[in-house]
C-alpha cells in the first residue's frame, strides 16, 4: 500500500497520463522531437532569449527550487481533441467560469440556487486555498511532467482547488435544483459527475497536480496510518474533492437556516464585509510570494459583495426573475425566453466587466497615492497592504453589481 501511495503522489503517473493523451515534451521519443506548430507542436518558448519575461521564482519545496515563473518548456501536441478538451475543462475551475456561470444562474434560473452555490463556493475555496499554504504539498516535477500553466505553478498543489470548485459548484447546483425543477435524477447526477471528472483530469493533463492530490479520498485513511511516510502528517492527505464533499454534507442541513440569516439578519451587511477582510489580512504567510492570497481575496470579495446584494434585495423587496418556465422542465424554454435570457446575460457581463475595470483602476489609484507607487508597478501589487484592499474592493464591487445593479438595469430594460 505504501508503494502504491508513493506512486500516486509521484510525477510519473501524471507524465504517463499526458503521454497517453498525446502531450509530450519537445524532443522526447514519441513526441516528434520538433515543437514546431506546423508539425503538431506548441512552442511555449523558454527563458534563454534576451526578451524573455522573467518573474520571481516559485517557492522552494522539499529542498528544490523551481525555475522562474513564466519560463515554460516546449512541448508537442499529438492529439488536439484532448488538448482542447482539457484546456477548456481547466477553464471551468477558473475566474472566467465563476464570473459567467454564477451570475447567469442568478439572472436566469433561481436566486436561491445562486445564493447557495456562492456561499458553498466561497467557504470551500477559502479552505482549499489556505490548505495549500499550510500543507505545502509540492506539485509534480518538470521534467518529466509538461507544465501548461506556469502562473498556478507558483502555488502549492494540495488540495486541488480546481477539483474543489468543480465538485462544490456542480453538486451544490444539482442538490439545490433537484427538488425545485423537473428533470431526471440520473441526468443531473451524471452531469455533475462528468463536470467534476473533466476538471480533475484537466489538472493532470496540464501537469498541475499528482493523482493522489486529486483522488486521495480513496487512499487517505491508509496513508494516514503509514509510519514510514514522515513528510506528510495526517492532515496533509485530504484531497480537494473530499473536502468539497464533506463540506457539502455538513452544510446541506443548514442551508435554509444560513440562507434565512443572510437575507434577514441586521448584522449581515457588517459581517459579510468584516469577516472576509479579516480572513484575507490574516492569510498564512509564505517565504516567497504566491498568488493564492490574491485569488482568495478575489473569491471572498466577490462572495461578500454578492451577500450584501442578497440582503439589500430582500430588505427592499426587489423583484425576482421569473422562473416559472423552469418549474416543469427545461424543454419548455421557447425562443423568446432564450433571447431574453441571453440578453440578460450579455448585458450583465458587460456591466460586470466595466465595473471590474473601473473599480480596479480606482482602487489602485487610491492605493498608489497612499503608498507612493505607480499603477503599473506589478511588484507593489503583491504587497499585503495593496493586494488585499485592491482585490477586495474590485471584486466585492463586482459581486454587488451582479446582484443589485444588473437586476435594476434589467428591470429598466423590461427584461425581468
**Residue given cell 435570457 in the structure block:** 341
Q: Which residues pair with 64 in a beta bridge?
A: 61
How far apart are the C-alpha atoms of 152 and 206, rounded to whole Å?
Answer: 10
**Residue given cell 519545496 in the structure block:** 61
| Among the listed residues 252, 289, 259, 244, the one whose alpha carbon sits nearest the alpha carbon of residue 126 | 244
Contact 138, 161 (CB under 8 A): no
Query: How many of the other CB atoms lie within 10 Å of CB of 67?
Result: 16
Contact 212, 204 (CB under 8 A): no
Contact 163, 200 (CB under 8 A): yes
Contact 143, 282 (CB under 8 A): no
How far apart are the C-alpha atoms of 144 and 159, rounded to whole Å?
Answer: 21
How far apart are the C-alpha atoms of 298 and 167, rounded to whole Å?
Answer: 19
How far apart are the C-alpha atoms of 152 and 96, rounded to whole Å?
Answer: 15
C-alpha grid cell, residue 403: 446582484
How far apart are the C-alpha atoms of 54 and 301, rounded to whole Å?
Answer: 29
How far apart are the C-alpha atoms of 127 and 132, rounded to whole Å?
Answer: 9
| Among the listed residues 316, 400, 386, the one whose alpha carbon sits nearest the alpha carbon of residue 356 | 400
Listed in sequence order, the residues at least 6 apart from 214 whose beta carbon sits closer than 8 Å to its beta carbon are: 160, 163, 200, 203, 204, 239, 240, 241
Contact 268, 262 (CB under 8 A): yes
Mark 211-230 as b/e (b = at least 16 C-beta within 10 Å).
bbbbbbbebbeebeeeeebe
**Residue given cell 509510519 in the structure block:** 227
Residues that are catalytic: 162, 209
C-alpha neighbours within 13 Å on the C-beta side of residue 248: 22
Question: What SS3 class is residue 23?
Answer: strand
Amino acid at each position: 500500500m505504501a508503494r502504491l501511495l508513493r506512486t500516486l503522489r509521484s510525477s510519473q503517473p501524471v507524465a504517463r497520463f499526458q503521454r497517453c493523451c498525446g502531450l509530450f515534451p519537445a524532443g522526447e521519443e514519441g513526441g516528434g522531437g520538433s515543437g514546431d506548430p506546423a508539425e503538431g507542436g506548441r512552442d511555449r518558448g523558454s527563458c534563454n532569449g534576451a526578451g524573455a519575461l522573467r518573474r520571481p521564482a516559485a517557492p522552494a519545496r522539499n529542498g528544490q527550487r523551481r525555475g522562474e515563473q513564466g519560463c515554460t518548456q516546449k512541448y508537442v501536441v499529438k492529439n488536439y481533441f484532448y488538448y482542447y478538451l482539457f484546456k477548456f475543462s481547466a477553464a471551468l475551475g477558473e475566474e472566467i467560469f465563476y464570473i459567467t456561470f454564477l451570475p447567469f444562474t442568478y439572472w436566469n434560473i433561481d436566486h436561491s440556487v445562486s445564493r447557495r452555490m456562492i456561499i458553498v463556493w466561497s467557504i470551500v475555496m477559502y479552505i482549499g486555498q489556505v490548505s495549500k499554504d499550510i500543507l505545502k504539498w509540492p506539485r509534480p516535477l518538470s521534467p518529466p511532467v509538461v507544465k501548461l500553466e506556469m502562473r498556478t505553478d507558483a502555488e502549492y498543489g494540495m488540495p486541488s482547488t480546481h477539483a474543489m470548485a468543480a465538485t462544490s459548484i456542480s453538486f451544490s447546483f444539482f442538490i439545490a435544483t433537484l427538488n425545485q425543477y423537473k428533470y431526471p435524477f440520473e441526468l443531473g447526477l451524471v452531469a455533475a459527475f462528468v463536470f467534476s471528472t473533466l476538471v480533475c483530469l484537466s489538472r493532470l493533463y496540464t501537469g498541475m497536480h499528482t493523482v493522489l492530490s486529486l483522488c486521495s479520498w480513496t487512499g487517505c485513511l491508509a496513508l494516514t496510518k503509514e509510519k514510514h511516510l514522515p513528510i506528510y502528517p495526517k492532515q496533509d492527505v485530504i484531497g480537494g474533492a473530499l473536502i468539497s464533499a464533506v463540506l457539502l454534507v455538513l452544510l446541506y442541513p443548514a442551508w435554509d437556516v444560513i440562507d434565512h440569516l443572510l437575507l434577514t439578519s441586521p448584522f449581515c451587511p457588517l459581517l459579510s464585509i468584516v469577516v472576509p477582510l479579516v480572513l484575507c489580512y490574516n492569510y498564512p504567510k509564505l517565504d516567497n510570494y504566491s498568488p493564492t492570497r490574491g485569488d482568495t481575496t478575489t473569491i471572498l470579495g466577490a462572495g461578500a459583495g454578492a451577500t450584501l446584494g442578497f440582503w439589500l434585495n430582500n430588505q427592499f423587496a426587489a423583484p425576482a426573475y421569473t422562473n416559472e418556465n423552469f418549474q416543469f422542465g427545461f424543454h419548455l424554454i421557447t425562443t423568446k425566453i432564450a433571447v431574453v435570457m441571453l440578453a440578460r446575460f450579455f448585458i450583465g457581463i458587460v456591466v460586470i466587466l466595466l465595473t471590474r475595470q473601473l473599480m480596479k483602476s480606482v482602487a489602485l489609484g487610491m492605493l498608489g497615492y497612499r503608498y507612493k507607487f505607480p499603477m503599473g508597478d506589478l511588484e507593489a501589487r503583491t504587497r499585503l497592504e495593496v493586494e488585499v484592499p485592491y482585490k477586495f474592493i474590485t471584486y466585492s464591487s463586482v459581486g454587488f453589481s451582479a446582484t443589485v445593479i444588473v437586476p435594476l438595469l434589467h428591470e429598466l430594460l423590461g427584461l425581468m
